[in-house]
Amino acid sequence: MKIEMFHLCPYRDLPEDFREKHRSVWVDVPSHLFDGEIASRTYNETLDEIKYAAEMGYDGVCVNEHHQNAYGIMPSPNIMAAAMSRETKDVAIIVMGNSIALYDPPIRVAEEFAMLDCISGGRLVAGFPVGSAMDTAFGYGSNPANLREKYAEAEELILRAWESDEIFAFDGKYTQLRYVNLWPRPLQKPRPPIWVPGAGSIETWKTCVDKGHLYAYLSYSGYKRGKQVMEGFWNVAQSAGIDNPYHAGFLQLVCVADSEQELQDKYAAHAEYFFNKMLHIYPGFADPPGYRTVDTIKAGLMSQTSSFGRAGEKELTFDELREAGNVVAGTPDQVTNQLEQVIKDLRIGHLMILNQFGSIPHELAKENIRRTAHEVVPNLRHLWSDYKDHWWPQNAVVREGIGNN
């Protein structure tokens, strides 16, 4: 079993009445709420927390890309990954990822990921998300109806650029290049592993199975809803003869304390901040026509954001979030038992943990990272030891008790 620490780099200082006064944390969040001094502190504390997670023993560290929002102020995860490539020695650098359909030309992603792979010494995981509706359709003005077509073409170009030994011309519908001659090239051969963050669409399941990419379900709806989505993925995978848990990953919020009262005192307000403010998204931004495909709509699978981020819904309490599975919280033994059940029920070989979420301050984030890494993670590493992980960077650490490459 491999366990990674995921960081969103959230804006932790939204006003108390944000939800009441503003319709969305994404796209049209008012600029006057942004404070450069707060952002400077946040970026540096985030980098410190990611480095700390690596030092505490996580197998990998994860960053991701979002635009025009206060939910995660990381429009360029590659900048964060570059810093971590130098600040860490053996953990996987997991960029989840670059929204490849938004780059013109997408060869820029191939170049920057190749740089990161070389800087890190072959520890890069290359994430290829389609991107949320807010980031793509509204933040970057991409037509949601052709987003997946652009994505498929961009992926084809990037993979050919990494794997081809010869200069070639690329004549696509959206990108035309007379010369594709990638310098630098990835250190890993033939390329870094590809992880595809998804929110439950049927097409993403099929793409991951057909192309051999890892499917990572990134949702805040919790492991109870996650079971429905992951069962859909495994139905597709197993029909193709695939049954390796390392082919899939899942994201989960986690907090560890010694008592119920300590959980409430330390984490309740921050979890409520995350779900009630940072996921406060205007419905018109969350699911525009064309963003989801007909097959996914027919299957009743809502997009990640539209399924939990509707503006105007009632605020959720910490206890309600725990009951629904949105947050795994408890003593080290309780969290270990809950996460082991999540891992087995969802059949995942990669568990991505959010230890810093919402407004959790720096020192408390570090405490949660340390306790999870030392008191929970080692108790889970024995799971799936009979399987081989084909989705791990060639030069990242493989710790004791984990399936080998």
CATH code given to domain 2-379: 3.20.20.30
Determine the 3-state secondary structure of 108 from DSSP.
Answer: helix
Among the listed residues 120, 203, 196, 124, the one whose alpha carbon sits nearest the alpha carbon of residue 162: 124
CB neighbours of 219 closer than 8 A, spacing ≥ 6?
199, 200, 225, 226, 229, 251, 304, 307, 308
The length of the chain in residues reads 405
CA distance 332 to 240: 38
pLDDT given at position 260: 98
Using CB atoms within 10 Å of the CB of residue 294, give its burial: 0 to 12 exposed, 13 to 18 middle, 19+ buried. Answer: exposed
Q: Where are the beta strands (DSSP E) in 172-310?
A: 176-180, 194-198, 214-217, 248-256
Q: Which residues pair with 214 in a beta bridge?
A: 195
Tokens in use for 306? 């539209």
| Amino acid letter, 96 | M
Residue 290: alpha-carbon gap to chain centroid? 23
pLDDT given at position 225: 84
Determine the 3-state secondary structure of 78 from DSSP.
Answer: helix
DSSP string for residues in 194-223 = EEEEESS-HHHHHHHHHHTPEEEE--SS-H
pLDDT given at position 294: 76
- Stretch (H or E) spanning 42: helix 36-56
Are the C-beta atoms of 402 and 1 separated by less than 8 Å? Answer: yes
pLDDT given at position 222: 85
Tens digits of per-residue pLDDT, 349-363? 999 999 999 999 999
Using CA atoms, how far residue 318 sits from 24, 78, 107, 222, 275, in Å, is 21, 33, 44, 13, 9
pLDDT given at position 310: 45
- Write out the chain's pLDDT in tens, 405 residues: 999 999 999 999 999 999 999 999 999 999 999 999 999 999 999 999 999 999 999 999 999 999 999 999 999 999 999 999 999 999 999 999 899 999 999 999 999 999 999 999 999 999 999 999 999 999 999 999 999 999 999 999 999 999 999 999 999 999 999 999 999 999 999 999 999 998 878 889 999 999 999 999 998 888 888 898 999 999 999 999 999 999 999 999 999 999 999 999 999 999 999 999 999 999 999 989 989 877 777 666 654 444 445 455 789 999 999 999 999 999 999 999 999 999 999 999 999 999 999 999 999 999 999 999 999 999 999 999 999 999 999 999 987 654 444
pLDDT given at position 405: 42
Parallel, antiparallel or unpaired: strands 176-180 and 168-171: antiparallel
CA distance 260 to 264: 6
Using CA atoms, how far residue 331 sits from 5, 205, 221, 265, in Å, is 19, 35, 22, 14
